[in-house]
Amino acid sequence: MIITSPSVNSLLNPQTLAADWPGGFWWHWVLFTIIVIAVVIVMVMGYIYMARRQIGRMQSRVGPNRTGPFGLLQPIADVLKVLLKEGITPTNVDKTVYWLAPIVGLFPVFSIFAVMPFTNGGMLANLNVGILYVVAISSISTVGMFMAGWSSSNKFSLISAMRVVAAVVSYEIPVLLSIAGVLLLSGSLSMNDIVLAQDIPFILLQPLGFIVFFIAGLAEISRSPFDLLEADSEIVAGFHIEYSGIKFALFYLVEYGEAFLLSCLISTLFLGGWRGPWLPEWMWFIAKGVLVWFVMVWLWATLPRVRIDQMMALAWKFLLPLALINLVVTAIQVLTLPEGSLWVMIPVNFVITAVLILLWSKNSKLGWGRVEV
Amino acid sequence: MGVDIAFWVLAIVGIAAAIAVVSLRNVFHTALMLILCLLSVAGIYVTLSADFLAAVQILIYVGGISILIILAIMLTREVQHGSLSNKLRIPVFIVAAVFLGVLIFAMVNSPWQISSLPPVEPTTPALAGKLLGEGGFILAIEAAGVLLLASILGAIVLVREK
C-alpha cells in the first residue's frame, strides 16, 4: 500500500469556514450540497423565464404571461408538462449508453458549483486548484452529449454530436488562454482568491481577455449565435432528438445549467464575483450573473446563426491569436509594473484591445451574401 | 479509513474498466470504458493529495484525448464491431503476461521512499517552483514543448493538400 497519509479531508477542507459555523465538515458538506442543487434548479427556471420574456420583448411580442402573475409560473408548468410526458425509447438505440447519457451530461454542471464562491468563502470546497477543476470537469459534459448523439442511432443526432466535439475542442484553447490572463493577475487558482484579488474588476484590466472568454464560452456551451448543434433548420433538434419525457428534461436542465454556470464564471472571473457595496454578497453574485445572462439573451435575439466553417475560423484565426497576444501583454505588464499601479493597465489595455480587434477584423470579409471569417 | 475505502473502490473500478476496454466488442463502449478508467486514475491522484495532477489528468485525458479517440471512431466506418481474435492472440498474450510479471516484480521489490510528512498545501506554488523555478525541470519542459510542436507541424505537413 503506497498511500502516505489521510489527506482527502485536508484537501476538501473549506479553509474559510466561518468561526461560528455549526457542526463540522460533514454538516458543511450536506448543507452546501443542498444549497448548490437548489440554487441551480431555481436559477435555471428563472433563466428560462427571463429568456422567454426578454426575447419576446425584443421581438415586439409579449412572451408567456398567462400562468401566474407576469407568467412567473410558466417554467414550473413547463417542468410539470415535460415530466409527465411519456418517455419513449426508440427500438434501435444502444440502451445502456442512451440511459446513461443525460446523467453523464448533468453531473458536471452540479459538481462545478462546488467551487463557486456565492459569498466570501461561502462555497462547498475552496480547492486550491479551483478554476482548473472547473475547466476539467466541464469537459466531461461533452462526453454525455456525445453518448446521446451516438446511442440514438439517428444521423441528425450524430451530426450534432460531431459538431459539439468540433466546437469544444477548438474553443477550449481560447477559453484556457483567456483564463490564464486572469490567473496572472490574481496569482491563485482558487476561485475565492480570484475574487479577493479583484480590487479593480478584471474586466477593466483584461478587456480583451473578457471578450475572448465571453465569445469562446458562448461557443463552448453552444448558445446562440453558436447553437449549431441544435440548428433546427438543418438537423431538427440536435443530439437530444430521440429523447423525450424526463430524459429530455435533464438535457434541458444541462443546457440552461451551463448557461447559469458560464454567467457565474464570468461574474467570478471578470466582474468581481460577490464583491460590491450595500447589498448582501450572494445577491451581488446572482445579480452579476443575471446581467451576463441578459447580454447573452440579447445576443441570442439579435444575431443569426454562424456556419460551421465560420465558427471554426473564428476560433483559430481570430480568438486564438488575440488570446495569445493578451496573455503575453498581461505577463509583461504584471512583471514590469510596480506594486500598486495596476490601474495603468486600464487605459493601455483598452487601447490595445480596440487596435487589435480593428486589425484582425480586416481579415474578415463581408459582402454580397458571401461571408468569410 | 475513508481514504482506504476510496482507494479500493477506485482501484477496483479502474481495473474492471481497463479489462472492459480490451474485452468489449463494441469500440464505442470501449472508448467510454477508457474514460471511466482514466477518471478513476484521477480519483487515485486525489487520494494521494495530488490535486493539480488529478485536475490535469481529467482535463487532458478525459476532455482531450478520449474525445479525440471517440471522434476518430466516428470518422472510421464499419469498426463498431471489430474482431478481437486473430493469429497474434497467443504471442501477444505471452508478451503481455511477461510484461505484467516484470512490472509486478519491479514494484514489489523497489525500496519505495515513504514520507511521513503531511502533504504540501497548497500544491500549485510548490509544483510551479519545481517545474519552472531555478534548479527545476525547465529544460525537460522546454524539450517536451519543442517535441509537441514538431509533432503538430508533422501532422499538418502530412495532411496538407498540395
Render pLDDT for A117-171 as a digit per residue (tens, 0 to 9): 887 777 777 778 888 889 888 888 888 888 888 888 888 888 888 888 888 888 8
The helix/strand count (H/E) of chain B reads as 7, 0
Question: How many C-beta atoms lie closer than 10 Å to residue A199's C-beta?
Answer: 10
Reading the block at residue B125, the C-alpha cell is 506554488
In this complex, the residue of B3, B114, B124 whose CB is nearest that of residue A8 is: B3
Residue A19 pLDDT > 50, yes or no?
A: no
In a domain, A3, yes or no: no
| DSSP state at residue A227 | -
Mean pLDDT score across all residues of chain A: 82
In a domain, B102, yes or no: no
Closest CA to A132 of B99, B52, B73: B52
Per-residue pLDDT of chain B (162 residues; tens, 9 = 90+): 778 888 899 999 999 999 888 888 778 888 889 999 999 999 998 888 788 888 888 888 888 888 888 888 777 766 655 555 677 788 888 999 999 999 999 999 988 888 777 777 777 788 888 888 877 788 888 999 999 999 999 988 988 876
Q: Which residues of A touch B (CB under 8 A)?
A: 1-11, 94, 97, 127-129, 132-133, 135-137, 139-140, 142-143, 146-147, 150, 158, 161-162, 165, 168-169, 172, 189-190
What pLDDT digit, counting tens, does each position of A272-319 carry? 888 888 888 888 888 999 999 999 999 988 888 888 878 888 888 888
Reported as a pLDDT band with limits 50, 70 and 90, residue A357 is confident
In a domain, B99, yes or no: no
H/E stretch holding A366: strand A365-367
In a domain, B133, yes or no: yes
Spatial contact of A140 and B62, defined as CB atoms under 8 Å apart: yes
- pLDDT at residue A147, rounded to an integer: 86
- How many independent structural domains does chain A possess? 1
What pLDDT digit, counting tens, does each position of A233-250 carry? 777 777 888 888 888 888
Tell me whether residue A197 is exposed, middle or buried, using C-beta atoms within 10 angstroms of its C-beta: 0 to 12, 13 to 18, 19 or more: middle
Nearest-angstrom CA–CA distance, B140 and B144: 6
- How many independent structural domains does chain B possess? 1
Reading the block at residue B47, the C-alpha cell is 487520494
Which structural domain, as residue segments, surrounds residue B62? Answer: 2-81+121-159
Cβ-defined contact of A147 to B74 (cutoff 8 Å): no
Taking the CA atoms of residue B95, residue B98, residue B99 and residue B105 in that order, the dihedral angle to the nearest 10 degrees is 180
Q: From residue B50, how far is each of A3, B14, B38, B123 by CA, in Å? A: 12, 18, 15, 7
H/E stretch holding A234: helix A232-235
Q: Is B69 on the interface with A (CB under 8 A)?
A: no
In a domain, A7, yes or no: no
Q: State how far residue A8 is from chain B, nearest Cα, in angstroms.
A: 6
**B contacts of A1 (beta carbons < 8 Å):** 7
What pLDDT digit, counting tens, does each position of A159-199 carry? 888 888 888 888 888 999 999 989 888 888 888 888 888 88
Percent of chain A's residues with pLDDT above 90: 10
**Could you give phi then psi for residue A202, rounded to 5 degrees?**
-65, -15
**B contacts of A190 (beta carbons < 8 Å):** 122
Q: State how far residue B90 is from chain A, nearest Cα, in angstroms.
A: 32
Cβ-defined contact of A7 to B118 (cutoff 8 Å): yes
The set of residues, in sequence order, having a beta carbon less than 8 Å from that of A352 and lying 6+ positions away, is: A208, A329
In a domain, A182, yes or no: yes
Cβ-defined contact of A11 to B114 (cutoff 8 Å): no
Burial A24-51 (b: 16+ CB within 10 A, else e): eeeebbeebeebbeebbbebbbbbbbbb
Cβ-defined contact of B67 to A136 (cutoff 8 Å): no
In a domain, B98, yes or no: no
Tell me whether residue B77 is exposed, middle or buried, using C-beta atoms within 10 angstroms of its C-beta: 0 to 12, 13 to 18, 19 or more: exposed
Which structural domain, as residue segments, surrounds residue A104? Answer: 21-370
In a domain, A38, yes or no: yes
The answer for B 6-25 residues in CB contact with A (under 8 A) is 6-7
In a domain, B36, yes or no: yes
Q: In CATH, what number is assigned to the domain containing residue B18?
A: 1.20.120.1200
